[in-house]
Amino acid sequence: MATVLRGNDNFDSATPVPAAGGAVGTYACCRNDSGSTRTIGQSESASNLYYLSFAYNGFYIDTSNRPSGTWRVMSYSYPSNQGTVLLRIS
């Protein structure tokens, strides 16, 4: 049975708290530097990743700022030549 929310339940007055970049539950665009192809759903250690930074003429690898934690691969990731979207899971 579906839940019905009514205006007087006051659910719409809560202020959402934004997650900090790199926090669990956030997404990032990174390059897979593991040397192996990754598929959707696999987990990836941050030690194999570099953040990607976007510029007017494409993207570049931000070697000064690497992520931490464990990430879930959200799109296919080919080694060392393409970026991918990842979700931080821990």
Alpha carbon of 88 to those of 7, 10, 73: distances in Å?
34, 31, 9
Q: For the chain, give the number of residues.
A: 90
Question: Could you tell me the pTM of the whole model?
Answer: 0.71
Q: Is residue 76 part of a domain?
A: yes
Q: Is residue 17 part of a domain?
A: no
* Residue 8: per-residue pLDDT: 56
- Can you give 52-66 as a three-state secondary structure string? EEEECCEEEEECCCC
Residue 83 CB neighbours (<10 A): 20
Q: How many domains does the chain have?
A: 1
pLDDT digits (tens, 9 = 90+) for 4-41: 555 555 555 556 666 678 889 999 988 888 778 888 99
Tell me the residue range of the domain where 80 lies.
Answer: 25-88
* Residue 68: per-residue pLDDT: 92
